[in-house]
């Protein structure tokens, strides 16, 4: 998923935007941590519904030293990034409260929550992105976390997968799974 370009050719970056259900962009994390975070959010907010986790970009492994705001050294590793899409319509205010809580716990970057508040929506990339030093391929569904405590399912993850499938065809990608709409092919937790 990661490649270096000498002269990138610009392409449009297309995003999936909503104010209705929660979208989270987790940078520099592992799939295990993303699954645990989904499980915690589902336990705290059962009405949020099930969650779809997609790999949004991979980077080659690197490690470096960074200092926290309290001048403590911190070892930082470059890890993949994941998108989390929750299934139920819960409203923008609850989404913002959850994002602010995650930013306060240093799970999300504080700027991410501020940008969501400023823009008034949540957006995740669903197309490839050519950056100055890398190419981020399209998101790939990796896991589906079922919420057994919620009876209502609004189907927002299905809407996201439909958009993702359109993007796969638009950009000429072969979907990583035979049918993006078949949740049986995505590992279910």
Give the pTM.
0.81
pLDDT at residue 44 greater than cutoff 90? yes
**Angstrom distance (rounded) from CA 135 to CA 163:** 20
- 188 — pLDDT class (breaks 50, 70, 90): low
The stretch 46-55 carries a mean pLDDT of 94
In our burial notation (b when 16+ CB lie closer than 10 A, e otherwise), range 7-28 reads: eeeeeeebebebebbbbbbbee
pLDDT at residue 23 greater than cutoff 90? yes
């Amino acid at each position: 998923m990661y490649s270096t370009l000498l002269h990138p050719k610009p392409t449009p970056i297309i995003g999936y935007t909503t104010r209705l259900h929660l979208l989270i962009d987790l940078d520099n994390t592992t799939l295990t941590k993303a699954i645990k975070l989904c499980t915690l959010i589902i336990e705290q907010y059962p009405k949020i519904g099930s969650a779809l986790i997609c790999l949004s970009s991979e980077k080659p492994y690197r490690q470096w030293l960074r200092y926290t705001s309290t001048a403590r050294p911190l070892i930082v590793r470059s890890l993949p990034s994941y998108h989390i899409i929750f299934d139920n319509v819960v409203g923008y205010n609850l989404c913002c409260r959850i994002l602010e809580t995650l930013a306060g716990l240093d799970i999300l970057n504080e700027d991410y929550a501020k940008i969501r508040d400023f823009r008034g929506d949540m957006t995740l990339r669903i197309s490839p992105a050519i950056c100055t030093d890398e190419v981020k391929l399209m998101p790939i569904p990796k896991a589906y976390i079922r919420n057994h405590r919620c009876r209502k399912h609004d189907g927002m993850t299905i809407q996201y997968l439909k958009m993702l499938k359109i993007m796969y065809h638009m950009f000429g990608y072969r979907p990583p799974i035979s049918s993006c709409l078949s949740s049986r092919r995505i590992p279910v937790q």
